């Protein structure tokens, strides 16, 4: 039996994301005073009195709105409601019951799901404000007074939620090692959400032609003939000069957090635009964090092609991404599904390469052959001696080189050794890391 799913819903700006963050104990949802900041569903693990469940934060429901974003937010909330076992309906004591609350309550009653009514922003101590008693008019059982900012009442809320869980609940492990965690990253509007939707067969993230539509990161679990994957669709990374409000700043932080969580990063490029400086910065985040990387050129179906187009583009991109020559390049179309099967294969492959471990004996065989072929550098009669190498860790593969003088181990020679190791062992799709240790400075 899978973990219960609890969805937090309500109209915009009643404090859903603040409550979500308080309940899961970390800042996972974007919190801002601007209504409509949380546009997509956000997932988080929550635990209360030995109950382990998945909590979903949703965008605010605006039942009567025709705005393209608000309409899609309403659809997102409906998807969360449909998949939930229990619904927390969040309202705002400071505004009292408004027409939108009544419409949302009617929508929730139709779902037939257990509903726990949360009256948020009850921040004072002592008597309940008179507005609190208005919420009995929603006819949704006993309202629970909560202050999501201070945490008051959250225990009572969770206790009520857990009453609706099945009597015998089996704990479900986290994704663990059997799932490959994939972050789909790139600048806004390159098709990241379209890719996640295409591979999941469900409208998981909001997709529209408005750049920067996806503000939060969502997890999509995929199990198919290729294996088990968790896709993390991230907010597009914008140029710093364009990050001029709190929402976009949070989005950049969130995207970096998503890269940290992932083991593989799919760096998406827009084939119709080509390489930009921003693509380089996005890729740089994954490269610096030592993640396995794939460069996926999306919207390939929209490019006019002849027999040489792909080769020409590949060579150009290899030059553009010269700082990460290990990353394989694949040309895809999220819209048509072109080469998505091949993308799965590449994800599995580069993940294995990122986790590769090479024995000390084999490493030193390569080192001996490499130093015999090209002598280590010298300076003023002193020659670099590399005594031996060993692999210290994986993700990324990290090698420790014990030498006589660190200052003689120039970057160019390190790159030469890295190329020799890659030639023998592959390590395609993953950066590598070298730690230079000085053993005996007087040994020349």
> Do residues 335 and 377 share a domain?
no
Residue at 50 is within a domain: yes
> Do residues 366 and 342 share a domain?
no
What are 400-417's pLDDT values in tens digits? 999 999 999 999 999 999
Contact 322, 338 (CB under 8 A): no
What are 185-196's pLDDT values in tens digits? 888 788 888 888
Sorted by sequence, the CB contacts under 8 Å of residue 182 that are 6+ apart come out as 229, 230, 231, 232, 262, 263, 264, 265, 266, 347
Residue at 167 is within a domain: no
Which of 312, 330, 353 finishes a domain?
353
Phi, psi of 389 (to 5 degrees): -125, 150
Average pLDDT over residues 434-444: 74
Q: How confident is the model at residue 153 (pLDDT cuts 50, 70, 90)?
A: very high
| Claim: this prediction has a pTM higher than 0.85 | no
Contact 56, 43 (CB under 8 A): yes
Sorted by sequence, the CB contacts under 8 Å of residue 272 that are 6+ apart come out as 299, 302, 303
- What is the crossing angle of helices 154-162 and 16-24, to 10°? 80
Q: Quote the mean pLDDT of the chain.
A: 83
User: Which region among 68-77, 221-230, 354-363 has the lowest average model confidence (pLDDT)?
Assistant: 68-77
The alpha-helical segments, DSSP class H, found in 301-438 are 309-320, 340-354, 360-373, 411-425
Range of the domain at 405: 360-438
Give pLDDT, residue 87.
94
What are 210-252's pLDDT values in tens digits? 555 444 545 788 888 888 898 886 654 555 544 444 344 334 5
- Distance in angstroms (rounded) separating the CA atoms of residues 438 and 408: 11
> Do residues 149 and 226 share a domain?
no
Give pLDDT, residue 171.
40
Give pLDDT, residue 392.
94
Task: Please state, as a whole number, how many other Cβ atoms lie within 10 Å of the Cβ of residue 179.
Answer: 16
What are 274-320's pLDDT values in tens digits? 898 888 888 998 999 999 999 999 999 999 888 899 999 999 999 99
The CA-CA-CA angle for residues 423, 426, 431, to 5°, reads: 105
What CATH number is associated with residue 331?
3.40.50.300
How many domains are contained in the chain?
A: 3
Query: Quick check: helix, strand or coil at residue 251?
Result: helix
Which of 353, 382, 400 finishes a domain?
353
Which of 136, 162, 188 finishes a domain?
162
- Distance in angstroms (rounded) separating the CA atoms of residues 10 and 39: 13
Residue at 281 is within a domain: yes
Share above pLDDT 90 across residues of the chain, in percent, rounded to a whole number: 48
Average pLDDT over residues 332-352: 94
């Amino acid at each position: 039996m899978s973990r219960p799913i609890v969805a937090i819903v309500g109209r915009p700006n009643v404090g859903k994301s603040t409550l979500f963050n308080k309940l899961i104990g970390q800042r996972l949802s974007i919190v801002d005073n601007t209504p409509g900041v949380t546009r997509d569903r956000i997932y988080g693990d929550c635990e209360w009195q030995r109950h382990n469940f998945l909590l979903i934060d949703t965008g605010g429901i605006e039942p009567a709105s025709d705005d393209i974003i608000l309409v899609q937010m309403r659809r997102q909330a409906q998807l969360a409601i449909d998949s939930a076992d229990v619904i927390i309906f969040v309202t705002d004591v400071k505004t009292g019951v408004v027409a939108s609350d009544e419409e949302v309550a009617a929508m929730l009653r139709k779902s037939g799901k257990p509903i726990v009514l949360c009256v948020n922003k009850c921040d004072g101590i002592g008597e309940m404000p008179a507005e609190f008693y208005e919420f009995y008019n929603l006819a949704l059982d006993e309202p629970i007074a909560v202050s999501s900012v201070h945490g008051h009442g959250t225990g009572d809320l969770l206790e009520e939620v857990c009453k609706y869980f099945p009597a015998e609940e089996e704990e479900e492990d986290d994704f663990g090692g059997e799932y490959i965690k994939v972050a789909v990253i790139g600048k806004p509007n390159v098709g990241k959400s379209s890719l996640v939707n295409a591979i999941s067969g469900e409208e998981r993230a909001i997709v529209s032609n408005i750049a920067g539509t996806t503000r939060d990161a969502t997890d999509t679990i995929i199990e198919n003939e290729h294996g088990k994957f968790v896709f993390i669709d991230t907010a597009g990374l914008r140029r710093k000069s364009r990050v001029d409000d709190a929402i976009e700043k949070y989005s950049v932080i969130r995207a970096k957090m998503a890269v940290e969580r992932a083991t593989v990063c799919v760096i998406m490029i827009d084939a119709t635009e080509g390489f930009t400086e921003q693509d380089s910065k996005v890729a740089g985040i994954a490269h610096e964090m030592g993640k396995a990387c794939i460069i996926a050129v999306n919207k390939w179906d929209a490019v006019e092609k002849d027999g040489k187009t792909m080769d020409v583009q590949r060579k150009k991109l290899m030059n553009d991404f010269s700082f990460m020559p290990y990353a394989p390049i694949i040309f895809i179309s999220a819209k048509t599904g072109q080469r998505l099967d091949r993308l799965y294969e590449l994800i599995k492959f580069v993940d294995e390469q990122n986790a590769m471990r090479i024995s000390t004996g084999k490493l030193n065989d390569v080192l001996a052959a490499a130093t015999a072929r090209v002598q280590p550098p010298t300076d003023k009669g002193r020659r670099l001696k590399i005594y031996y190498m060993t692999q210290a860790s994986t993700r990324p593969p990290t090698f420790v080189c014990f030498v006589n003088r660190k200052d003689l181990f120039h970057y160019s020679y390190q790159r030469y050794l890295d190329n020799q190791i890659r030639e023998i062992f592959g390590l395609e799709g993953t950066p590598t890391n070298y730690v230079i240790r000085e053993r005996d400075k007087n040994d020349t």
